Amino acid sequence: LKKQPFFDPRQLAKHVFGASKVAATASTAKLELLKRLGADWSIDYTKENVEEIQEKFDVVYDTVGQAEQGLKVVKEGGKVVSISKPAVGAIFYGLSSSGITLEKLEPYLENGKVKAVIDPKGLFPFANTMEAFAYLETSRATGLSFIPFHE
């Protein structure tokens, strides 16, 4: 399990939770990555207004602080999950990783159905911690970036 540091939500939705269709948004440059990670429908948010999409979704997973948009495209009775700031008027539940949850994911990691996604900048030395956080705040990261605490 320690070999796989980041779990991509598209892979988890499809291979672990059994989603039949996965849609995802990204800029033009990252659309191919979305397809490789299992998205059936890749939406270029630089060319399409996500709020105008006619399709409604059972679950919307927000990683960039756009949960309000998710509320406009989720089905009635659906869920908007955000790992960013809370949506206005949302009921917010906290989640945390536990060893048991991670152990359940281990078979998917070992058989390759779920793979790590590491940003090309990847590893930031501890001395560059502020640079790492500034980079993550740009929303340009593709995957996970690391800051080792023991060098």
- Closest alpha carbon to 87 in 66, 107, 103: 66
- Same domain flag for 100 and 127: no
Residue 124's CB is within 10 A of a number of other CB atoms, namely 19
The average pLDDT across 23-28 equals 83
pLDDT at residue 140, as a whole number: 72
- From residue 45, alpha-carbon distances to 8, 50, 58, 74, 151 in Å are 19, 7, 20, 17, 38
The structural domain count of the chain equals 2
Residue 114's CB is within 10 A of a number of other CB atoms, namely 24
Residue owning tokens 């590491």: 118
- Same domain flag for 79 and 20: yes
In a domain, 1, yes or no: no
Tokens for 3? 């070999």
- Same domain flag for 68 and 129: no
- Same domain flag for 42 and 76: yes
Q: What is the pLDDT of residues 121-133, one digit of tens each?
A: 777 787 888 888 7
- Same domain flag for 92 and 123: no
The average pLDDT across 36-40 equals 80
For residue 71, what is the domain's CATH number? 3.40.50.720
Question: Side chain identity at 29, as an amino acid letter?
Answer: A
Residue 2's CB is within 10 A of a number of other CB atoms, namely 5
Q: Provide the 3-class DSSP secondary structure of residue 35.
A: helix
- Same domain flag for 21 and 40: yes
Strand intervals (E) in 4-88: 23-26, 41-44, 57-62, 74-82
Which residues form the domain of 16? 9-111
- Of the pLDDT bands very low, low, confident and very high (cuts 50, 70, 90), residue 47 is very high
- Same domain flag for 45 and 78: yes
